[in-house]
Amino acid sequence: MRTATDAAIYRPDLGVAVMEYLEGDTMGFIGLEVMPLFPTSKQSATYPVIPKEALLNAPDVSRAPRGKYNRGDWEYERGKFSTSEKGWEEPIDDSERSLFDQEAPGMSDFIATKRAMNHILRGQEKRIADKIFNASAFSAHAVGVEWNTGETATPISDVNDGRSAFRTQCGLLPDALVISYTTYQDLKECDQIVNRLKYTFPGIDINRMTSDQLAAVFDVPRVLIGGSIYNSAKKKKAATIADFWDKEYAALVKIGSGMDLTQPCVGRTFLWTEDSKENAIVEEYREENIRSDVFRVRHNVDEAYMRSYDDSGTVVSDIADACMYLFSNIHT
């Protein structure tokens, strides 16, 4: 369905088709698993945050005959988010469309949309990875021996210690261990991991170790492996392939779910649905002066830590910090 107007038209059909393709293709995106989407009708707003000191309270709940029940007297604090638009356009020139149609009729729209969607999703993955593996935002706990030192590394012991500390600071256990793809490969060569896997899963092929098997070894519900990569070189420079998720870090995290923003978690990805109904939407319009159909992919989002603020903007309760245990010194 081609448009002949310069007014953008909404193309949900292309969005669905491209996302089905990308989800079937192994791209290694985990960002929205760590900071899940929260659709909102507001571009920016505040939301309720349970004060940090209220997370672990154990008040007296006894009641005397004819007496009153004790009641909570704490007040919600306020977090805040402010979404901003991110987008990318890919034009298909009429001559390019003609060439595409000779080889693969009807595929030019899909190809242009896929290119644009890739840019949008990679941008989002990088923003979330930079927020989670961030020693400036969270206290980094250096492991004693790097996890790529196979014979002497103790990743199981390190994660056990981190989980105990996490429970103390949050009152809950982590939902996931987040690692880079490089760390995943390093763990296959780690004696402590290999020995535990052989005991837990007799006959296992270590080279085919799954994230579920690794989660069982670490005693965490999930292991999220950041496998996505990007070209970090400048335009017209030789490609430099880099990981979004830094091999120097790993993290235990608490992950939010559903529509309850009072849940303790490291953060959420707020999506302003009045502007972009999905993450992300596809639009098409005609630009006659370059004889091209233009395909635009965009969304209006804010990847925000779960924190409350006072009127001056100072952090009051850093729930994100309580719901995160950041390991460093993971790779030599």
Per-residue pLDDT 10s for the chain (332 aa) are 566 677 888 888 888 888 877 765 556 899 999 999 999 999 999 999 988 777 766 777 788 888 888 887 778 899 999 999 999 999 999 988 888 878 777 788 998 999 999 999 999 999 999 999 999 999 999 999 999 998 999 999 999 999 999 999 988 999 999 999 999 999 999 999 999 998 888 888 888 899 999 999 999 999 999 988 888 777 778 888 888 999 999 999 999 988 988 889 999 999 999 998 888 899 999 999 999 999 999 999 999 999 999 999 999 999 999 999 999 999 98
Could you tell me how far CA 43 lies from the centroid of its own chain?
A: 20
| Count of Cβ atoms closer than 10 Å to residue 25 Cβ | 9
Rounded to a whole number, what is the distance in angstroms from the first to the last CA of the chain?
Answer: 53
What pLDDT, on a 0 to 100 scale, did the predictor assign at position 97? 87
In this prediction the pTM is 0.91
For residues 120 and 88, the answer to whether their CB atoms sit within 8 Å is yes
Cα–Cα dist 75/15, whole Å: 42
Identify the bridge partners of residue 225 per DSSP, sorted by sequence position: 179
* Strands in the chain per DSSP E: 9-10, 37-40, 44-49, 77-82, 84-93, 140-142, 176-180, 223-226, 229-231, 241-243, 250-253, 267-272, 281-287, 292-305, 307-309, 315-318, 324-328
Could you give the domains of the chain?
A: 9-21+33-51+85-328 (3.90.1690.10)
Closest of 235, 271, 274, 251 to residue 320, by C-alpha: 251
DSSP state of 188: T
Phi and psi at residue 251, in whole multiples of 5°? -150, 140
Task: Dig out the tokens for 125 from the structure.
Answer: 């993955």
What pLDDT, on a 0 to 100 scale, did the predictor assign at position 328? 97
For residues 174 and 254, the answer to whether their CB atoms sit within 8 Å is yes
What pLDDT, on a 0 to 100 scale, did the predictor assign at position 247? 96
How many CA atoms lie within 13 Å of 142's alpha carbon, on the beta-carbon side? 4
Write the DSSP string, 104-140: STT-HHHHHHHHHHHHHHHHHHHHHHHHHS-TTTS-E
Identify the bridge partners of residue 46 per DSSP, sorted by sequence position: 80
